Structure 1
Amino acid sequence: MSQGLVPHDEPQLKIPDLVGWFRPTGRHSHRIGLEVECGLVRPDTGRSVSYDEPAGTRALLVALLDGLGGDPIHEGGALVGLSLPDGAALTLEMAGAIEYSSAPQASVSESVAAARRGLVEVARVAEPLRLRLLTGAHLPFDDPAGISWAPKERTRIMRRWFAQLGDGGRLSDQVMGLTLSTQVSLDALDEAEYLEKLRMLLGVSPFLAALLANAPALAGPHRDDGLVSRRMAYWRRIDPARCQHLASRLYAVTDLAEMVQVLCELPMIYRRSDHGYVPGGPHSFRESLRDGFGDGTRPTIADWRTHLGQVWPSIRPRRTLETRLPDGQAWDQLALVPALFVGLAEEPAVRRAALDVVSEFRTEALDLIAVKAAQGSPDGINPQIREVAGHLVHLAEKGLAARVARGVEHPDIVKSLEPAFHSAATGRPPADAIVARWTNDWAERPDRYVAALGIPTDQTG
């Protein structure tokens, strides 16, 4: 059945169907997903490559299909990714960065190990093309006015959407084109667990993001603006109904039905039709359920899944819960983000303790914490934020240790929290170290930045 086309002999989709879609059925164990966004840059300049240039992103995808196998992913006739034989996927982001999405794994240790293997393979294929995969939180040497967009139909529709928002869409190009993140997807086996995890993750995200701020400006006119996390600073200023305001509303929901009602208030930015991706139209998803899209078609569950991919709160609700706020980290700290969130979320006692820690903070306070974390300060992370964040890191350590004791995790995963303990103790996020190394170790040379943060071509690098 084509997405967006409901045959006449099928019942019309209604709100209770969407609520039921969220409720887990037939699952008895938790799985963990990991998504890692990496820049595709030239090693001498640190600048992103374009899709069609010689040895650009399209050439890399072709080489990956030849070297790794799998199935191509096309959009509008353009090759934009591939599904790998092990269940993982590699897809182009809006401006040509590449995202590795793992197959669901039983542990964070397995997720990180699979991501390391997969990304090293990509780096090996990329090397003959003079391409490096750049980790971290942003692409500091790209010109925001000269972003080379991937040939994806959705990109063009989304940019038009943000343009018509005025000031609310002004920074969208930077967010879509220049920021990089590491995201974790977590399971829930029943409604109560889903809602408990949702609220806890929304509450802890700003504190963890403060410890993980990793995107200072190194060059250009904004290098002295003081920001340590461009992702957080920009995120809260674009399309508030889909970003920080939505996070605040989700923080207050009491059941899945209420959550679905909140999500249905937003219109779709784009949807898929028999003619490819098309604009979603001006009406809310709820109105589209009632009246259709205006072209003789009505929403399907596939449209609902697409709709959920067009909201960007700090925790995105799907059938899994997807973390979105923290910056991407350096290659040698790839395990840090997933270890923190898994450590806090997957042990019920630890999860409830973390929820207790953040339960006193109202949504306005959580938003302000994210603002302060993004802005940075000569004195480092705010002491009150550090105190709460440090408590959460200790709880994450406790959660991971319990999983190690039960044989779920490799013992080394606990060590991956060390950078977060350091940030909490010193009040200095990773961005401060990046600035210091940029000035000293790297002598303000992009090639040295890329050499330090690029993914190696062997597992020992």
Structure 2
Amino acid sequence: MSQGLVPHDEPRLAFPDLVGWFLPAGQRSHLIGLEMECGLVRPETGRSVSYDEPGGTRALLEVLLEQLHGDPIQEDGTLVGLALSDGAALTLEMAGAIEYSSAAQATVSESMVAARRCLSMVARAAEPLRLRVLTGAHLPFDDPGEIKWAPKSRTRIMRHWFAGLGDGGRLGDQVMGLTLSTQVSLDALDEQEYLEKLRTLLGVAPFLAAILANAPALTGPRTDDGIVSQRMAYWRRIDPARCQHLASRLYEVTSLAELVEVLTDLPMIYRRTAHGYVPGGSRRFGEALRDGFEDGTWPTIADWKTHLAQVWPAIRPRRTLETRLPDGQAWDRLALVPALFVGLAEEPAIRREALQLVSEFRTEALDLVAVKAAQGSPDGINPQIREVAGHLVHLAEQGLSARISRGAERPELIESLGPAFQSAVTGRPPADEIVARWAGEWAQRPDRYVAAMAVPTETTDRIA
């Protein structure tokens, strides 16, 4: 069935269908998913490559398709990724970065081992093409005016959408083309757990973002602006109805029905029809549910899934809860983001203690914490933010310890929290270390940055 086209013999989608879709039917255990966006850059310049150039992203996908024995993922007849035999996938992002999406796993430990193995294989396949793979939070050497867009029809629609927002979409190219992230997806087995996790994750995310800020400007006119996360700063200034304002609305919902009401209050940016991807039109999803889309077709569950992929609050609500606000980390700290969120969210007692800790902060205060997380300060992270973040890291440690004690995680996962403890104590996020190394041992040379930060080619079973 083509997305966006409802066959005559299929019942029309109704509001209760959207509410019920949020909880996985028949699932009795919790699963964890990871998404890790990685830059594909030249080792000499640290700049991204285009799709069709020699040794570019298409060439890499073709090599990976052969070496990893995956199934091709195509868009309009163009190779844009591959599905792997273990249920994971590698797909191109809007501007040619590559995203690893894990299969759902029972533990962070399993997910991290699989992620490191796969990304090391990508790095090994990339090396003969003179490509390096970078984890982290952004691409510091790419020029915003020269972004190399991947051949995906959604990219054109998205750029047009952001351009139509005026100042609220002015940084759309930077968001789509220069930022990277590490995202964790957690599920819930009933409505109470879903809402409790949603509120907890929305509450803790700004504080974790402050101690994980990892995207300073290294070149260009913004090197002296003091911002420790260009990535978060970009997101702060784009389409607030789908980002920070939406996060505030989500924080207040008290039922899945109310959650659906909030999410159907937005139009789709794009849809997939029998003719490929097309603009979503001006009707809000709730209006389309009642009256149909402007082309005379009716929404499907596939449309609903696509619609939810077009909102970007700190925590994105889908069938899973997807963390989005904190920056991704370097290769040697790759497990830090998932370890923190899983440690805080997956043990009910720990989750409720974390929620209690942040419940005194209203949505406006949480939004201000997120602003400060991106801005940075010569004096380091605000003391009050550090104090709360430090408590949260300790709670995450307790949560992981509980999982380890019953055999649900490997003991060494605890080691991954070390950098978070350090940032909470010193008030210095990872961005400060990058700036210091850029001015010092790297001598402001992109090739040294890439050599130090690239994903290694050897396969490893380590987690932290």
On whether the aligned pair clears a TM of 0.5, the verdict is: yes
Matched residue, 2:173: 173
Displacement of 1:391 in angstroms is 0.2
Unaligned runs of 5+ in 2: none
Matched position secondary structure for 1:360: coil
Query: Which amino acid letter does the alignment assign opposite residue 83 of structure 2?
Result: S
Confirm whether residue 344 of structure 1 aligns to residue 368 of structure 2: no
User: Structure 2: how far apart are the matches of 1:27 and 1:203?
Assistant: 26
Matched residue, 1:112: 112
Matched residue, 1:322: 322
Displacement of 1:296 in angstroms is 2.4
Matched residue, 1:396: 396
Confirm whether residue 24 of structure 1 aligns to residue 55 of structure 2: no
1:349-428 pair list within 5 angstroms:
349-428=349-428
Matched residue, 2:447: 447
User: Structure 2: how far apart are the matches of 1:263 and 1:136?
Assistant: 30
Matched residue, 2:206: 206
Confirm whether residue 192 of structure 1 aligns to residue 192 of structure 2: yes
8 Å contact from structure 1 (residues 72, 79) kept in 2: yes
Matched residue, 1:5: 5
1:145-156 pair list within 5 angstroms:
145-156=145-156
Matched position secondary structure for 2:271: strand
The one-character-per-residue Cα deviations of 1:216-236 (angstroms, maximum 9, x if unpaired) are 000111111111011211112
8 Å contact from structure 1 (residues 24, 191) kept in 2: no
User: Structure 1: how far apart are the matches of 2:137 and 2:12?
Assistant: 43
- Which deviates more from structure 2 when the two are superposed, residues 181-190 or residues 229-238? 229-238
8 Å contact from structure 2 (residues 121, 459) kept in 1: no
User: Structure 1: how far apart are the matches of 2:128 and 2:12?
Assistant: 52
Matched residue, 2:99: 99
Displacement of 1:356 in angstroms is 0.2
Matched position secondary structure for 2:322: strand
Displacement of 1:11 in angstroms is 1.7
Query: Which amino acid letter does the alignment assign opposite residue 329 of structure 1?
Result: Q
Displacement of 1:77 in angstroms is 1.7
Displacement of 1:429 in angstroms is 0.0
The one-character-per-residue Cα deviations of 1:377-408 (angstroms, maximum 9, x if unpaired) are 01000000000000000000000000000000
User: Structure 2: how far apart are the matches of 1:278 and 1:23?
Assistant: 29
Displacement of 1:83 in angstroms is 0.3
Matched residue, 2:159: 159
Number of aligned pairs? Answer: 461
User: Structure 2: how far apart are the matches of 1:153 and 1:142?
Assistant: 22
Confirm whether residue 57 of structure 1 aligns to residue 49 of structure 2: no
Unaligned runs of 5+ in 1: none
8 Å contact from structure 2 (residues 369, 385) kept in 1: yes
User: Structure 2: how far apart are the matches of 1:81 and 1:227?
Assistant: 33
- Which deviates more from structure 2 when the two are superposed, residues 22-31 or residues 375-384? 22-31
User: Structure 1: how far apart are the matches of 2:23 and 2:454?
Assistant: 40
Confirm whether residue 459 of structure 1 aligns to residue 459 of structure 2: yes
Query: Which amino acid letter does the alignment assign opposite residue 63 of structure 2?
Result: A
User: Structure 2: how far apart are the matches of 1:111 and 1:123?
Assistant: 18
The one-character-per-residue Cα deviations of 1:413-457 (angstroms, maximum 9, x if unpaired) are 011000000000000000000000000010101011001110000
Query: Which amino acid letter does the alignment assign opposite residue 325 of structure 2?
Result: L
**Percent pairwise identity:** 80
Matched position secondary structure for 1:35: strand
User: Structure 1: how far apart are the matches of 2:332 and 2:391?
Assistant: 24
8 Å contact from structure 2 (residues 343, 397) kept in 1: yes
User: Structure 2: how far apart are the matches of 1:345 and 1:308?
Assistant: 22
Matched position secondary structure for 1:265: coil
4+ runs of 1 displaced by more than 3 Å? none
Displacement of 1:7 in angstroms is 1.6
Displacement of 1:459 in angstroms is 2.8
8 Å contact from structure 1 (residues 33, 103) kept in 2: yes
User: Structure 2: how far apart are the matches of 1:93 and 1:231?
Assistant: 16
Matched residue, 1:73: 73
